[in-house]
Structure 1
Amino acid sequence: MQRINWFPDPLITGKLFAEINNGAAKAVVVADNKNWLRVTSTATGDNFGQFSLSGGLIPPAGTYHVHARVYAQKAAANFIVYSSVNSSWKQLLNKPVADGQTLTVDSEITIPEGCQHLLVRMQLGREVGLIGMMSEILIESADTYDKAVGGGFRASSRGTRCHAIKAVRRAGDVR
C-alpha cells in the first residue's frame, strides 16, 4: 500500500492558508530548522489558529494516524482536530500542551463517513500574549503508518508519494 500524507502543507510553506480568529495574530517562524505556524493571542476571548481542509483535501472515511510537533508559551494550549458532517462538529483529537513544552503528537483519529470539513487547530487560552505553534503535520492512513521508518512525514502531500524501496534508505526521513 502506498503511503500518503493527506495534509497538503506539512512543512508550513504557505501552500495552505492558515486561518485565525479576530483575537489572534499569525506568523510563520523558523525554529529547529523547521517552519512553524505561530499563533499569538492579541485579545481576550476564544483565540486560535487553524488549517481548514474541505472538498478533495479531506481523506476518505477511515482511521488515520495524526502526527505533529506543537509548542506552547506563557500558558498551556491544545492541539485539536475537528470534523464536520452536515454542519455538526465533532472533536476527533485534543492534545494539551503544557507551558514551555514542545510535544510530539502521535495519535489515531477516525474520520467519519460524509465528512465535509476537517480543522487542524492550535487553541490558546483566553488571555493576551499567549503563543502556540505547530509544525510537521501528518494525516496518514493508520494502515500504512510505520513509526519505525519515520512515519509518513515528508511524504509532502497526496501529490508526493514515498518512493524508497529499501527500509534502510527510509529510516528517519521517508522519501
Structure 2
Amino acid sequence: MTLRINWFPDPNITKTVKPYAPSIIKVDFPVVARRNWLRATVLTVGDTYAQYSLQGDRLPPAGTYHVHCNAFAKHANAFVRVYTRVGGKYTVPLQKEIADGTTVDVDGTITVPDDCEELIIRTTAGKVVGAIVMLSDILIERADTYDKAVGGGGFRASSRATRCRAHRSVRRAGGAR
C-alpha cells in the first residue's frame, strides 16, 4: 500500500489552523454544499489576501508535490498562489486566476527546494469592497503518490502520516459504501 500524505494540516478547513489576513479582510468559515470553506471578504481596498503559512515541522520535505484546492470568487476576479521562501526570497511556483462568479479546481505541481523556509497558500481577493474569495479541500501531496484516477487526494487524502483508505471505496461495487 502506498502511503499518501496530505501535508496541509487542515484540509477540511476545520479551523484548527488559523489563516493570516490583514485587518482590511474579514475571514470566516461558512459551510456550503456540505463543504467547509475559508472565506475572505474585502472590507477596505488595499492588500487583500488571506493565507496559510507552513513552516518548521509543518513544512513538507524537499521534493515535488501536487497542490490542489477548490476556489471561488465573487464580485471580482481573484487568485490562488503558492509561494516558496528560500533565503528570504519568495517565488511563485503555482498561480491560478478565478473569474468572478466561478468555482474552479486549482491543480498544479510545485517543487519544494531543499533549503525552503516557508510554503504559503494564499488567496487574493479582487480590490473591490465586498469582493469575496473562498478556498476548500486544500491538498499538498507528493507528486509520486498523487493519483487522479482515484480522485486525486483532496479532502480524501489522509492527514499527515495517516494512511489513506479512500482507494478502497473505488473497488466497491454499486452503492456499497
Compute the TM-score of the two structures, normalised by the length of structure 1.
0.92
For residue 100 of structure 1, what is the aligned residue in structure 2? 101
Structure 1 5/131 Cα, relative in aligned 2: closer, same or farther at 3 Å?
A: same
- What code does the residue aligned with 2:67 have? V
Q: Bigger CA drift: 93-102 or 83-92? A: 83-92
- Taking the aligned partners of 2:71 and 2:117, their CA distance within structure 1 comes to 25
Distance in 2 (alpha carbons) for counterparts of 1:45 and 1:28: 22
Whose strand proportion is higher, 1 or 2?
1
Aligned equivalents of 1:33 and 1:132: distance in 2? 18
Counterparts of 1:19-168 in structure 2, within 5 Å, are 19-153=20-154, 154-163=156-165, 166=168, 168=170
Moved over 6 A (4+): none
In structure 1, C-alpha distance between the alignment counterparts of 2:147 and 2:29, rounded to whole Å:
29
Q: CA RMSD in A?
A: 1.7
State the SS of the aligned residue for 2:6. coil
**Residue segments in structure 2 that go unaligned for 5+ positions in a row:** none
C-alpha separation between the residues in 1 aligned to 2:141 and 2:30? 25
Letter in 2 for 1:120: I
Q: CA deviation at 1:169?
A: 4.0
Evaluate the alpha carbon distance shift between residue 161 and residue 89 of structure 1 in structure 2; reply closer, same or farther with a 3 A threshold. Answer: same
Identity of aligned residues (%): 50
Secondary structure at the aligned position of 2:57 is classed as: helix
- Give the counterpart letter for 1:151 in structure 2: G
| TM-score of the aligned structures, taking structure 2 as reference length | 0.91
Uncovered stretches (5+) of structure 1, i.e. residues with no partner? none
Q: Distance in 2 between matches of 1:51 and 1:39?
A: 12
Cα distance in 2 between the residues matched to 1:69 and 1:164: 19
Aligned counterparts of 2:72 and 2:35: Cα–Cα separation in 1: 13
Q: Note the alpha carbon deviations across 1:74-121, whole angstroms, 9 max, x for none.
A: 000001111111211111211000000000111111111211111101
Paired AA for residue 23 in structure 2: N
Equivalents in 2 of 1:22, 1:165: separation in Å?
Answer: 42
Q: Which moved more, 1:18-27 or 1:34-43?
A: 18-27
